[in-house]
Amino acid sequence: MITTRPSPSRTDSVAGDVETPALKTDSITKSYGSNLVLEELSLEVQNGEFVSLLGPSGCGKTTTLNIVSGFLQPDSGAVQIGGVDVTHTPAHKRDSAVVFQNYALFPHMTVEKNIRYGLKAKRVPREELKERVAWALRLVDILELKDRYPGQLSGGQQQRVAVARSLVMRPGILLMDEPLSNLDAKLRAELRLELKALQQDLGQSVLFVTHDQVEALSLSDRIVVMNRGHVEQVGTSREVYEHPATVFVARFMGVENVFELTRDNDIYQTAGGLHFPSRLMGPEVSAVGIRPSMLRTRAEPVEGWTGWASRGEIRSVTYLGDTVRYEVAVGDETLAAISSDTHSVLDPGSTAYLHASPESLLPLAT
C-alpha cells in the first residue's frame, strides 16, 4: 500500500548533510524534586536514521521525548536539531514533529483539516499546501477518509492520520511515543512494516520510543537501550541482541540465564556453584549470560565437547509446540533451556547434561 510519490521539497527545514546529526542530545539531566529521571543522557539520530529508545516503563523515555520536542526544559544539557541548538527554543518553533501515543487528533476538524493544521502555520503557499496534503493523505493510504472526523475512524486509521499530520511537516526529526501500543497484535505487525517502508522511502529521521524489544529490533537502524534515566547500550539491532553489554540489556533482550561471577584462579564461579573455566570467558568478566535457546540439553554428555558443559537435574518440562522448555537445576542454580528436539523429551527428575558453545557465553558488565 505504500504509494510513495516524489516528496515535496524540504525548502523550509534545515537541509541536513551527512555530518550534522538530525538530532543530538548532549548529557541532558532532568529531575522531578528529588527523583532523578534523566541522568546525563546523550544520544544521536543521524540523517535518515531510525533510532529506537528502548527501555522499561518509567525509565524516562517520554521525558526524553518531551525535552526534545520542547514541552519540558532539561535541568542541564543541550538539544540540537539539524545542528541548531534548540535547548531554549519553544516547542512551536522547533523542527520536530511528534506522533503521540493517544494520537491527539483534533476532534472538531476533519482528517484533511487536521493534516493542514500545521502547514498553514508555516505559511506554505496555497498550491503547495494542497499538494502536500494530498501527498500525505496518499502516503498513508487515507485519501478516502479525508472528510471524516477522528471520532469516525478506527484506531489504526487514527494512527495513520497522526503519522500523516506529522510527516506532512517534513520535520527534521520525527518523534514517536509508542505509537503502536494501542493497537491489536495483528495491526501492530502490519503497521510496523508499513512504517519502516515509509521511513526508508522518505529518508525520514526518526526517534521511536518503545518498551517492546521485538518492535525495536524489527524497526531500528540503531537501538538506544535505557535504564533508569541513563543509556545502557547503543548499537544496531544485531549488536544489542547478540552482544548485550550489561546484565540489564541481556535480561531485557531475553537472556534468561544471567549469573554474577567471582574469579578463583582459572575458574569463574557463581554463588550457587556453577563453574566457568576462564579460558572460555575473558580476563575481566563480572557476569555471564546464556540464552535458553543456546543451551543444548542431553541425557548423555556430548563426546569431545570443548565448550562449556555441566551436569544437572531436570526440574520441569514445558511442551511449547515447536520447542520444549526445561528448567534444569545445577547445584543451587536453575537454568532455563529451550530445545527444538521435541521427539526425545527428557523426563522431570532425570539427569541432564547442559552444553554451551564458547560464543554463546555472553560476558556482561554489571
Partner 1 sequence: MNRSRTLTVIGIAAFIFMLMPVFIVMWVSVTSSQFIAIPPEGYSLRWFKSLPENRSLMGGLWYSTWLAVLVSIISVTIGAMAALALGKRRMRGSGAIGGLLILPLILPSIIVGIAIYIAFFQLSTTLGMRLVPSTSALLWGHVLVTLPWTFRLLHSGVVTLGDNLDKASRDLGRGALYTLWHVNLPLLKAPILASFIFAFIFSFGNLEISLFLIEPGGITLPVAMIQYAHLGMDPSLAAIATVQIVLMAVLLWLAGRFVNVGRVMQRT
Ligand X SMILES: Nc1ncnc2c1ncn2[C@@H]1O[C@H](COP(=O)(O)OP(=O)(O)OP(=O)(O)O)[C@@H](O)[C@H]1O
Which DSSP category does 217 fall into? H
Contact partner, 32, from ligand X, partner 1, Mg ion, none, Cβ < 5-8 Å per class: ligand X
Contact partner, 34, from Mg ion, partner 1, ligand X, none, Cβ < 5-8 Å per class: none
3-state secondary structure of 100: coil
Q: How far is the CB of 69 from partner 1 (least distance, A)?
A: 6
User: For residues 97 and 285, which CB has a smaller minimum distance to partner 1 in the complex?
Assistant: 97
Using rule CB under 6 A, residue 37 touches ligand X? yes
3-state secondary structure of 235: strand
Bridge partners (DSSP) of residue 231 are 226
Using rule CB under 6 A, residue 32 touches ligand X? yes
- Cα–Cα distance, 77 to 280 (Å, whole number): 42
Using rule CB under 6 A, residue 23 touches ligand X? no
Q: How far is the CB of 62 from Mg ion (least distance, A)?
A: 3
The DSSP H or E segment spanning 111 is helix 111-121
Classify residue 150 as exposed, middle or buried by CB count within 10 Å of its CB (0-12, 13-18, 19+): buried
Contact partner, 107, from ligand X, Mg ion, partner 1, none, Cβ < 5-8 Å per class: partner 1
Contact partner, 108, from partner 1, Mg ion, ligand X, none, Cβ < 5-8 Å per class: partner 1
Q: Which of 16, 21, 50, 61 is the binder for ligand X (CB under 6 A)?
A: 61
Which residue stretch of 13-21, 59-67, 232-240, 309-317 sits at the interface with ligand X (rule: CB under 6 A)? 59-67
Bridge partners (DSSP) of residue 148 are none
User: For residues 66 and 205, which CB has a smaller minimum distance to ligand X in the complex?
Assistant: 66
Classify residue 189 as exposed, middle or buried by CB count within 10 Å of its CB (0-12, 13-18, 19+): middle
What x/- string results for residues 52 through 91 when contact with Mg ion is judged by CB under 5 A?
----------x-----------------------------
Per rule CB under 5 A, count of chain residues that contact Mg ion: 1
**What are the cell numbers at 40?**
546525563
Binding site for partner 1 (CB under 8 A): 69-71, 90-93, 96-98, 100, 102, 104-108, 117-118, 121-122, 165, 169
Buried b (16+ CB within 10 A) or exposed e, 216-241: bbebbbbbbbbbebbbbbbbebeebb
Do 291 and 255 form a contact (C-beta atoms < 8 A)? yes
Residues that bind Mg ion (CB under 5 A): 62
Residues that bind ligand X (CB under 6 A): 32, 35, 37, 55, 57-63, 211
